[in-house]
Amino acid sequence: MYLRQLKLLDFKNYQEVNVAFESNVNCLVGDNGVGKTNLLDAIYYLSFCKSYFNPIDSQNIRSGAQLFAIHGTYQVDDAQVQASCIFRDGQKKMRWDGKLCHSFAEHIGRVPLVMVSPNDQQFILGGSEVRRKFIDGVISQVDHDYLLHLIGYQKALLQRNKLLKQFAEEHRVDDTLLSVWDDQLVQHGVALFQGRRDFLEAFTPLFEHYYRFLAHQTEQPSLRYISQVEQPDNYGSLLRDSLRRDCAAPYTTVGPHKDDIDVWVGDFTVRRFGSQGQQKSVTLALKLAQFDYIFKHFGVKPLLLLDDIFDKLDMRRISQLLEMVGGDAFGQVFLTDTQPGRIEQIFNNYPHISYTLKHIPLSAVSG
């Protein structure tokens, strides 16, 4: 599977544009601020029904416009299939092969994709919600049931928190009302806990492999799952035991929405003691492991989006990355850079890698 053509209307800084891509490495070059990353974000939208950088859809409409539309034509085996995302009047609609998707969950996973961005450093430096988002995003691409449990859990958590806030304002507690949402949280939360635990068991060896390849270190890397649940059968009792604390908060203080991942190299955590080089190796190894994990499940090579990597990685890691990208394990790749000369110089060292160069801004781009 690869993206043949991308059409944008009033998306971010693009008024209207139509660009064709090759099945190999597509290099998007241009000055900062001209829209290179926005093109990648549009491609991301067509896989995940949302922006990688800004979750508020209305803020992704070009200034002065009333809507945005993203259309992609994919080559899938011998057929061409179109995906469309249109946001208008506060509503977003996805279509696949001309058919309206009744839910976004129905669409996610159809076009496997991995994004590598400078923002990925937040996996190490950011809060636990960043790491949960990464894990949930990977699992949701390959496990539709997990995605449904995730949506169900988030809805139940929202409703329970609303009740807790209401009870705090009214100085009362209704156990019967809470129990309805407690049952929902347990049902979906146990599935999330088990899904994350099983995922990390399969994912960690892939991460370890890519980290050692990139870092050239003898220390053993590992991913450690941190959860209040610990055992699936305990979650219901945890909710009951935390009721007084939840009412005082007022919000749900225990559950998978508090889960975290800690990255260790040898005997120390990368978050607290890792060097910048180790942090870069960790974040890139996570994304390469994500690619490998999805590929093993689908048998389809995900699209690989590399945003601004040449300014963020040293030449040794760039060389190692390109060696992998140029092999048979990877399919269509998109990367951005500010210097076309640098792109050409780098790829001259890899004559076996076929690439195309596209200069941004493209025609019909508005500032």
Q: What is the pTM of this model?
A: 0.88
Tokens matching residue 184: 């929902």
CATH class of 1-112+300-367: alpha beta
- How do strand 355-359 and strand 25-29 relate by DSSP bridges? parallel
What is the number of other CB atoms lying within 10 angstroms of the CB of residue 213?
A: 16
Question: For the chain, which residues make up each domain, given as ranges?
Answer: 1-112+300-367, 127-298
- How do strand 99-100 and strand 268-269 relate by DSSP bridges? unpaired
Cis peptide before 361 (omega within 30 of 0): yes
CA-CA distance, 96 to 73, in Å (whole number)?
A: 10
Task: Tell me yes or no: is domain 127-298 CATH 3.30.300.30.
Answer: no
- 247 CB-near residues (< 8 Å, 6+ apart): 164, 167, 168, 173
Read out DSSP for 167-207?
Answer: HHHHT---HHHHHHHHHHHHHHHHHHHHHHHHHHHHHHHHH
Number of H helices, E strands in the chain: 12, 14
Identify the burial level of 148 via C-beta atoms within 10 angstroms of its C-beta, where 0-12 means exposed, 13-18 middle and 19 or more buried: middle
pLDDT in tens, the chain (367 residues): 999 999 999 999 999 999 999 998 999 999 888 999 999 999 999 999 999 999 899 999 999 999 999 999 999 989 999 999 999 999 999 999 999 999 999 999 999 999 998 888 889 989 999 999 999 999 999 999 999 999 999 999 999 999 999 999 999 999 899 999 999 999 999 999 999 999 999 999 999 999 988 887 777 899 999 999 878 788 999 999 999 999 999 999 999 999 999 999 888 899 888 888 888 889 989 999 999 999 999 888 999 999 988 777 777 778 778 877 776 778 899 999 988 888 888 888 888 888 899 988 764 444 3
**Run of H or E including 83:** strand 79-88
Cis peptide before 250 (omega within 30 of 0): yes
